[in-house]
C-alpha cells in the first residue's frame, strides 16, 4: 500500500470507507462480546451460590425443623397418653407415637441426604439418644400407663426421660446452629461475588467507553485529514 503522508508514514485515513466501517462493526462486536462474557460470569457466580444455598442450606434447615417438630410431637403424645382416661384414647396415642417414630426416621434420612455441613458423629449421637429415649418410653413409661401407676410414671419421666430429651434438644440445636452458620457463609459469599462482579462490570464498561471514545476520535481525525 502506498503511503499518503508527506513523510511516507501510514495513516488511518489511507483506509477505505468500507474498511473503516468494518472496523467500527468489529469494535461494536468486541464490546458486545466483552459485556456479554462479564454478564454471563456474574450470573453464573450468582446462580451457583443460589443453587448451593437451596440444595444444601435450605434443605438441611428444613429437615432439622422437621426433626424438632417430630420430637416435640412425640413428647406430647407420650404425655397425653399418660393422662388419658380410657383404653381407646390410650391406644390412639400409642398409634400416634408409632407414627412419630416413622416421621423422625424419614426426617433423619432427609437431613442426611441434604449435604449437611454438620459432623456425621453428631447425627449418630442424635440417633443414639433418640433410640434410648424411645426404648425408655416403650419399655417403662407405656408399661406404667397400662397399670395406671402415675406416681412411678412421673418419677421415671423426671429422672430418666427428661434428661434424654434434653440431650436430644441440645443436639438438634447444635445441628441447627451449624447449618445456620453455613447458610450465613453462603449468603456472604453470594454477596461478595455479586459485589466483585459488579465492580468488574463497571471497570469493563469504563474501559470499553474509553476505548470507543478513542476510536471515535481517531475516526474523526482520519476523516478530517482525508477530506483535506
pLDDT tier for residue 3 given thresholds of 50, 70 and 90: very low
CB 15 within 8 A of CB 224: no
Range name among 30-39, 55-64, 96-105, 116-125 with the lowest pLDDT average: 30-39
Range name among 36-50, 142-156, 178-192, 205-219 with the lowest pLDDT average: 36-50
CB 81 within 8 A of CB 94: yes
User: Domain residues of the chain, as ranges?
Assistant: 43-222
CATH for 43-222 is 1.20.120.30
- Does position 73 have pLDDT exceeding 90, yes or no? yes
What pTM value is reported for the model? 0.64
Q: What is the largest CA-CA distance in the chain?
A: 118
Instruction: Give me Rg for the CA atoms of the chain.
Output: 35
Best CA proximity match to 15, nearest among 219, 214, 216: 219
State how far the Cα of 81 lies from the Cα of 24, in Å rounded to an integer.
83
Average pLDDT value over all residues in the chain: 80
State how far the Cα of 175 lies from the Cα of 169, in Å rounded to an integer.
10
CB 117 within 8 A of CB 94: no
State how far the Cα of 93 lies from the Cα of 226, in Å rounded to an integer.
97
State how far the Cα of 47 lies from the Cα of 62, in Å rounded to an integer.
21
Amino acid at each position: 500500500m502506498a503511503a499518503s503522508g508527506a513523510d511516507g508514514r501510514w495513516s488511518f485515513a489511507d483506509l477505505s470507507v468500507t474498511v473503516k466501517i468494518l472496523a467500527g462493526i468489529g469494535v461494536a462486536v468486541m464490546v458486545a462480546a466483552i459485556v456479554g462474557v462479564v454478564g454471563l460470569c456474574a450470573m453464573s457466580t450468582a446462580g451457583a451460590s443460589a443453587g448451593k444455598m437451596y440444595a444444601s442450606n435450605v434443605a438441611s434447615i428444613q429437615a432439622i425443623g422437621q426433626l424438632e417438630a417430630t420430637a416435640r410431637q412425640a413428647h406430647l403424645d407420650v404425655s397425653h397418653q399418660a393422662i388419658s382416661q380410657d383404653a381407646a384414647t390410650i391406644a390412639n396415642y400409642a398409634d400416634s407415637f408409632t407414627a412419630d417414630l416413622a416421621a423422625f426416621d424419614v426426617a433423619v434420612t432427609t437431613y442426611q441426604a441434604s449435604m449437611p455441613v454438620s459432623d456425621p458423629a453428631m447425627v449418630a449421637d442424635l440417633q443414639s439418644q433418640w433410640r434410648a429415649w424411645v426404648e425408655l418410653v416403650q419399655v417403662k413409661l407405656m408399661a406404667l400407663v397400662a397399670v395406671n401407676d402415675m406416681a412411678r410414671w412421673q418419677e421415671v419421666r423426671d429422672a430418666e426421660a427428661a434428661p434424654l430429651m434434653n440431650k436430644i434438644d441440645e443436639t438438634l440445636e447444635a445441628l441447627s446452629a451449624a447449618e445456620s452458620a453455613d447458610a450465613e457463609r453462603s449468603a456472604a459469599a453470594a454477596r461478595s461475588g455479586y459485589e466483585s462482579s459488579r465492580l468488574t462490570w463497571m471497570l469493563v464498561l469504563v474501559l470499553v467507553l474509553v476505548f470507543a471514545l478513542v476510536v471515535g476520535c481517531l475516526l474523526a481525525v482520519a476523516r478530517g485529514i482525508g477530506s483535506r
